[in-house]
Structure 1
């Protein structure tokens, strides 16, 4: 009986509190996790395809897919892209021009641009 009274009181209390900021925060986190998963899937596909000239396409596609989830997905895509490009420019020595081109493809996809802009001819349709 006490448990029932407590549950009723708790439900009345929760009904009187504006839960929308909490829901929005939860959606942001879920979108960010999904966006990170989208980025990882694009990375896996890029490694699997191992197709010359396709890296910009996979950059754009990962960012596009993540950003389609909402602000949390776009945030995750930006954080992951920026970290990867920083690591790549610091460690791999690919150079500033490659980093700039990668970041252009990242931003293109993240801002809703069609990733196929960067799709190389002959890349299997699986991707």
Structure 2
């Protein structure tokens, strides 16, 4: 499980019932839900939660750096609660399923200095694409 709820408590972020249910829906390993999926799951736990509240809460979590938006070409953004653990993503090009992966090596170190063009590179985002076993 991710430590999203604990991180939010440690920050002193006001956990209203709506915010808490959104965080609970997002909490876990390999969780990469769309905003609509978050709303659907949150509404199952707290029927009065609005779509706008879910979108606003997701936006706040992204701004806080506690959740990362994962974009995939032609698909809705997904939200990843594992914002503080370095990892990459493996995406199914058919169904859009996203999994966290932790390959060996140092992706930043693998970029030759000559290919950095003077940039002070501070982060690397790698997305592996393929077809998942369910879609194969």
User: If the length of structure 2 is used for normalisation, what is the TM-score?
Assistant: 0.28
Q: Which has more helix, going by share of residues?
A: 1
Q: Which has more strand, going by share of residues?
A: 2
User: If the length of structure 1 is used for normalisation, what is the TM-score?
Assistant: 0.29
Which structure ranks higher in relative contact order (CA pairs < 8 Å, sequence separation ≥ 6)? 1
